A and B are shown apart, each in its own frame.
Chain A
Amino acid sequence: MAKAMLIDTSMCLFCNACSVECKQQNKVPVGKNVFYTQMQIHEEGKFPKVRQLFIKRACNHCTEAACVDVCPTGALYHHADGYVVLDQNRCNGCGYCSQFCPFQIPMLEIKDAFTGAGKSYKCTFCADRVGQGYETTCSAACPFGAITFGDRENLLAKGKDRVKALQGRGVKDARLYGEKELGGLNVLYVLEGKASLYGLPDVPRYPVIPKVRDVVRGLGYAAVGATVIGAGLNWVIARRNIRAEEGLEEEEGKSHEKK
């Protein structure tokens, strides 16, 4: 059963309880510039009609996850419950995930600029807590019920109800984000307007390159295989022919290239 979180931005008061608890859960030391989750304020409109939109941003745990597909170490993978796990012990800091993520979420900490040694960081979906039947830290921390943890199906229904309620109250642009995007996100958002107002892509796109790269990888195997087979074939045929030729020449006593 796919697990998910529903983030209801209309309920968020920007208290930052979630991000503070997240830091503690992940033992991020003071002063370290690493975010597993981040609170953002986006402003909309012109004075005097201005409003602030709050959103909690973190990994959206895509079903079609580009980071999982480009990770060369297998550090990133899908848990059976649908979310995307990042195994810090396998990560070598190549940073492909941070560059291929359609939401630009994973943060790369480079420890050595020469070797590129480092680690990538992103929301863990509190895999250790969720695995033991608890809810995620951020949802447990939220005092307003803006973050709900549960089965994805239930949260989808809940999100749709909430959107209807908001529309009934006059928020015409209210919408649910994440139902179909990238094969379905495991973090769903109730938004009060277009996704781009919140710094989210309106239509997140799976990058083209990882799929092209699969073809290129096949091409690479084919090229190397064809070269090796061609060289082997050449060796067998050429050795026979050239030996026969050399034998003839030696008989006639006019072998060149030999002293």
Chain B
Amino acid sequence: MRKNDKELVTVFSFVQRLVHWVNFLGFMLLLFTGAFLFAPPLQGMVVGPAGWLSRAGHRWGVIIVAAAVLIYLLFNPKGMLRSMKEIFTWRKTDWKWLRAAPRYYFYGEESGMPPQGRFNTGQKSFYLVYVLTLIVLAATGLIMWLGKGSVSPALFQWSVLLHDLAAIAITAFFLIHLYLATFHPAMRAAMDAMRFGFLPKKYLRHHHARYYDELFPK
């Protein structure tokens, strides 16, 4: 795809895409090293000094994700604020979208789908769950990392539990996110948007009508 194509519209800036992929890198590291500690069949990976490596990997994951958030905050604070506003604003059409979504994702039947903004309701839900669980995971994770021995055992124990629950929620959502981006037969364009930053005008008008109207007022 060529950027100077009149048919293409920029939807994600370079910083936004960078933030996405840095997040992805850190998240993958956290997901795997976390799973090693969580699931007994994988716990062979955390035994003895090999476990130090796995646990170090989990901390590096934290630093990478924190770096991603920091990059966004420093280099594109307006974009970040706008995305946060979008994901926390829920309208009636979002509930309508959720009701119509199964028919669309299984049958390609899109007549019931309301016009969408820059993120559709599904993308918004994933982003929202990611942000919310990130806050929970960071808070409980820091308690377990730095608070061991100085916080009360009860607080530590609850942190372990909340960390588990938040991790399960984001893992389930991430699997759906991954599937829609890479495997779903009808969802090729969103991946292009996150790789190259732009989308065909036609696609935008069709799938993100509200955003299209914002960009190109009639």
Closest to B42 in A: A72
CA distance A116 to B179 in the complex (A): 34
Contact with A along B199-212 (1 / 0, CB 8 A): 01011001000000
CA distance A228 to B48 in the complex (A): 32
Supply 24 A–B pairs (Cβ within 8 Å), ascending by A: A73-B47, A74-B43, A92-B54, A94-B37, A98-B148, A98-B149, A104-B153, A108-B148, A115-B52, A115-B56, A115-B59, A117-B56, A209-B157, A216-B165, A217-B38, A217-B40, A224-B171, A231-B183, A235-B179, A235-B185, A238-B107, A256-B206, A257-B202, A259-B200
Q: Which residues of B contact A208 (CB under 8 A)?
A: 157
Whole-angstrom distance from the CB of A91 to the nearest CB of chain B? 7
Is A100 in contact with chain B by the CB < 8 A criterion?
A: yes
**A239 proximity list for chain B (CB < 8 A):** 185
Determine whether the beta carbon of A216 is less than 8 Å from that of B175.
no
**Does B105 belong to the interface (CB within 8 Å)?**
yes
Stretch of A15-23, A24-32, A48-56, A240-248 on the interface side: A240-248
How many chain A residues touch B (CB < 8 A): the figure is: 52
A242–B186 CB distance below 8 A:
yes
A215-244 vs B, CB cutoff 8 Å, 1 = contact: the mask equals: 011011101101110010011011101110
Residue contact B59 to A114, C-beta cutoff 8 Å: yes
Interface string of B95-124 (1 = CB under 8 A from A): 000000000011110000000000000000
Give bound CA distance, A99 to B43, whole Å: 19
Residues of chain A with a CB closer than 8 A to B129's CB: none
In the complex formed, the residue of A with least CB distance to B104 is A238
Shortest B154–chain A CB gap in Å is: 8
Interface of chain B residues 8 through 49 with chain A (CB within 8 A)? 37-40, 43, 46-49
Q: Among B40, B185, B189, B202, which residue has its beta carbon within 8 angstroms of that of A243?
A: B185
Is A159 in the interface zone, CB < 8 Å from B?
no
Question: Interface residues, chain A, CB within 8 Å of chain B?
Answer: 72-75, 89-96, 98-100, 104, 108, 110, 112-117, 207-209, 212-213, 216-217, 219-221, 223-224, 226-228, 231, 234-235, 237-239, 241-243, 245, 256-257, 259
Complex contact A207–B106 (CB within 8 A): no
A220 and B175 alpha carbons, distance in the complex (Å): 13
Q: Assuming A73-B47, A90-B48, A231-B175, is B164 touching A220 (CB within 8 A)?
A: yes
Nearest-neighbor residue (CB-CB) of B187 within chain A: A238
Known A-B contacts A99-B153, A116-B59, A241-B108; A89 and B160 likewise in contact (beta carbons under 8 Å): no
Contact A89:B48 (CB < 8 A) given known A117-B56, A216-B165, A257-B200: yes
Partner of A242 from the list B39, B55, B108 (CB cut-off 8 Å) is B108
